[in-house]
Amino acid sequence: GQQVMQIPQYQHVQEGEDFTTYCNSSTTLSNIQWYKQRPGGHPVFLIQLVKSGEVKKQKRLTFQFGEAKKNSSLHITATQTTDVGTYFCAVGGGTSYGKLTFGQGTILTVHP
């Protein structure tokens, strides 16, 4: 199935600083999804990107899909303590319908 590399593994920021996590694939992706998991919680769907070069915004969060559809990023502007958690990208399995594979995740810590 398709695999994706996610970096960094950990990110510590001061409240108010920006944060970015990246996902990279060696193959062209049909789409990519992003999830957030709060400490002790379950993954929650944030967004799905489908089109080449797509950029979507949700308040302070900006999601991008690369022109070649091989990479994606999630950028948070002016982090808040409520942004704490693990951010995962996830990619579909091509012909393996339903096989969604998660990246390793980026654990974000925000210091007040």
Q: Which residues bind other proteins (CB under 8 A)?
A: 30-31, 33, 35, 41-45, 48, 50, 88, 90, 92, 96-105, 107
Q: How far is the CB of 20 from other proteins (least distance, A)?
A: 19
**Cβ-based nearer residue to other proteins, 66 or 92:** 92
Taking residue 31's Cβ as centre, other Cβ atoms within 10 Å add up to 15
Pick the closer one to other proteins by CB: 59 or 97. 97
Q: Specify whether the CB–CB gap between 19 and 75 falls below 8 A.
A: yes
Closer to other proteins at the Cβ: 57 or 99?
99
Q: Are 64 and 73 in contact (CB under 8 A)?
A: yes
CB 36, min distance to other proteins, A: 11
